Each structure stands twice: as C-alpha cells, then as structure tokens.
Structure 1
Amino acid sequence: MINDRIIEIEESINRLTVDLLVPIRTSKKVNKEAFDKLYLLLDELKVLIKGELIISRKLAGLLFFIYTSISAEAEHAHYSNPIFIEVGRLEDYLSKILWDSPFGQGV
C-alpha cells in the first residue's frame, strides 16, 4: 500500500537526519552517502505523492527541518561549497514534492 511505503520513507528520512546534519553543523562537511540515500528516498516519495492533496504534517515538518537546518549553514558558505550545492539540490526536490507546479509538467 502506498501509505505504508510513505510512512517507511518518512521513518528512513528521520533516521538519516543525524547523518545529514551533524557533519554539516560540526565540521562543515557533507556526508555524501547520507545525501545519496536521502535523494533516492525523495525520488520515490515524489512519485508516490504526485497529485495527492494532503501529506502528513510530520513528513512536511521533517523535510522543512532538514532543509532549513542545511540552509542556515549554507548562508555562511561560498557558492562552490558542497553545503551550498546540496541545499540547492534539496530545494529542487522539495519544490517537486510539496507543490505540483504547473510550470514543470514536462520536466
């Protein structure tokens, strides 16, 4: 069932949060393996929720927390820094997950 898989993805993302955020906050480094896992989950999530009117507050909140945490660190990074690059990539994913934009239909 799709809802069960969405819950599994949410739990997997929640477990990845420490691996995503701690290296960025403590050593200003990107854990590439953790981000790769996140993007695989987000790719699947994007397909599962396309056209849905409602997603869980917990999932939206988790994605918002991860994004804003990384974004705050990126504000202090040079545009070529991997943190800055990842926040841009994550923003692209979230725009496709949180909004079915009429402007990106063919993309």
Structure 2
Amino acid sequence: MINDRMIEIEEAINKLTIELLVPLRTSKKVNKEAFDKLYALLEELKELVKGEVLIRRKLAGLLFFIYSSISAEGEHTHYSDPIFIEAGKLEDYLSKILWDSPFGKGF
C-alpha cells in the first residue's frame, strides 16, 4: 500500500537530486550534507516498504536514476574515493528497499 509518507519521501528525494548530482558531475565532490539527508530518508523508506508488494514506479525510477548517476561517476575513481564509497552505500540501501532478500534469513 502506498501511503502519504512514501510520497513525501519521494518528493524530498527528488528535491535533493540536484544537491547530490551537480557537485559530483561538475567538481567530483560529494555533498556530505545532502547524502546524509538522503540516507535518513532511505532509512525511513526502508521501514515503510518492508513487506510491501509494490512501490511507486516513479520512486523506483528516481532511486535508479540517482544510483546509476552516482555509480557512473564512481567508475572513474579509485575504490577509496568518496564517490565510490557513496555509490556502494547507496547500493546497499537500494538492495534493502527494492528487494526482500531471502538470504541472511536462515535459508
């Protein structure tokens, strides 16, 4: 079930997109404050979607766009670079939001 808070989170993430991506693309810098806001929203979202069958297509697309953009920037960096680290951290969040993995549950 899609609730109002999920839509609010989606809108907040959408507003953060410029703060997240413009510094990465233009100066190869991580806006730590924007990423911290993103992760707080993703943490809440992770709990809201737990056990849900569906999430909004717009939300999934937005998360994919942000991840693929950051990942593309991270491909041109060393594994210890902040961009590469943020891409990995975001991937971890998205795997928990977009997939209820049976691994790690004793199977």
TM over 0.5: yes
Matched AA of 1:58: K
1:55 matches 2:55: yes
What is aligned with 1:32?
Answer: 32
Shift of 1:103: 1.1
Shift of 1:46: 0.2
What is aligned with 1:65?
Answer: 65
Shift of 1:95: 0.2
Q: Distance in 1 between matches of 2:80 and 2:105?
A: 29
Count of residue correspondences: 106
Shift of 1:105: 3.6
Identical residues among aligned pairs (%): 81
TM-score of the pair, normalised by structure 2: 0.95
TM-score of the pair, normalised by structure 1: 0.95
Question: Where in structure 1 do 4 or more consecutive aligned residues deviate above 3 Å?
Answer: none
Please, which runs of 5 or more residues in structure 1 have no aligned partner?
none
Matched AA of 2:20: L
Please, which runs of 5 or more residues in structure 2 have no aligned partner?
none
* SS, match of residue 5 in structure 1: helix
